[in-house]
Amino acid sequence: MRSLLNFLLRFKTLILFLLLEVVALAMISTSHNYHQTVFYGLSRNITGFVARRVERGTYYFRLRQVNEELVQENTMLRKRIEGLTSAPQEGVAAVHDTVSGVNYTYLSARVISNSVNKQKNFITLDRGSRQGVAVGMGVASPSGVVGVVVGVSGNYSVVMSLLNTDFRLSASIARNDYFGSLAWDGTNYRYARLSEIPHHVEVSEGDTIVTSGYSAIFPAGLMAGTLTGDQKRGGDFISLKVLLSVDFKKLTNVYVIGNLTHEERENLEKEVVK
């Protein structure tokens, strides 16, 4: 209270001046139609300006909620697409799994920890075994491939990022279906290299790189990146520089991909190898 009184006493002249100015402006604005019109117009402009700023601020703080809602919707749409594409064709016999022929499941998750500046980068998600996540599941974002789950607890999971020098992704050139191995070289987080592509294959800058579907982790056709003009030739193959479709520094929402026939496929392949 003493501080407030000291403040009022110190600036009493200025405060009195401002009060008189407000009273004078109020009297002028109400005494003449012209001044009243100008005053109301100015008030509307100020009110509109403040309202626009408040609305923009509110929209900005709602972006996180909007983004999460879009991820949920995207996950639901992917489940529907999987159901439609996995439905057996008329007249063709098919073996159904427990989810009416659906091979892949999708679970939305949020990134709570991430790194891009190491040689072996990992990502932590806010979903774990209680939500249905298991080791070996693929992880992708709306932009493309992110990585593979390598560790799971009750409510969290750890993902080996595509930005990990130990990670290899079976990927193909969408235009001609030639496939190779996509791997990060540990330098720029925006680029990886697609190797094991034969010399005779025609490639162009801007060609789309997608998952080949040869892995039991990811379905075919998931976006991985686009080719740049950089090529390295050696031996029987060429190595192509790929601009990754996912910007890992902006990664916030992802979905975990589960292959319902993963175990059956692995067991069969192991049996044949033996």
Q: What are phi and psi of 225, to 5 degrees?
A: 170, -165
Q: Is residue 165 part of a domain?
A: yes
- Whole-angstrom Cα distance, residue 256 to residue 105? 8
Q: Is residue 94 part of a domain?
A: no
**Shared-domain flag, residues 45 and 109:** no
Q: Is residue 12 part of a domain?
A: yes
- Whole-angstrom Cα distance, residue 166 to residue 163? 9
- Whole-angstrom Cα distance, residue 39 to residue 28? 9
Per-residue pLDDT of the chain in tens (274 residues, 90 and over written 9): 667 677 667 777 877 777 777 777 666 656 665 555 655 566 656 665 665 666 566 555 556 665 665 666 666 566 556 555 544 333 333 333 344 455 788 898 999 999 999 999 999 999 999 999 999 999 999 889 999 999 999 999 999 999 999 999 999 999 998 999 999 999 999 999 999 999 888 888 999 999 998 888 998 889 999 999 777 777 778 899 999 999 999 998 899 999 888 778 778 877 887 7
Q: Is residue 86 part of a domain?
A: no
Q: Is residue 207 part of a domain?
A: yes
CB 133 within 8 A of CB 107: yes
Structural domain for 19, as ranges: 2-61
Tally of domains in the chain: 2
Q: Is residue 82 part of a domain?
A: no
Q: What are phi and psi of 245, to 5 degrees?
A: -75, -25
CB 203 within 8 A of CB 122: no
pTM equals 0.65
Q: Is residue 249 part of a domain?
A: yes
**Shared-domain flag, residues 136 and 234:** yes
- Whole-angstrom Cα distance, residue 156 to residue 149? 11
Q: Is residue 91 part of a domain?
A: no
Q: Looking at residue 178, which CATH number applies to its domain? A: 2.40.10.340
Q: What are phi and psi of 165, to 5 degrees?
A: -65, -10
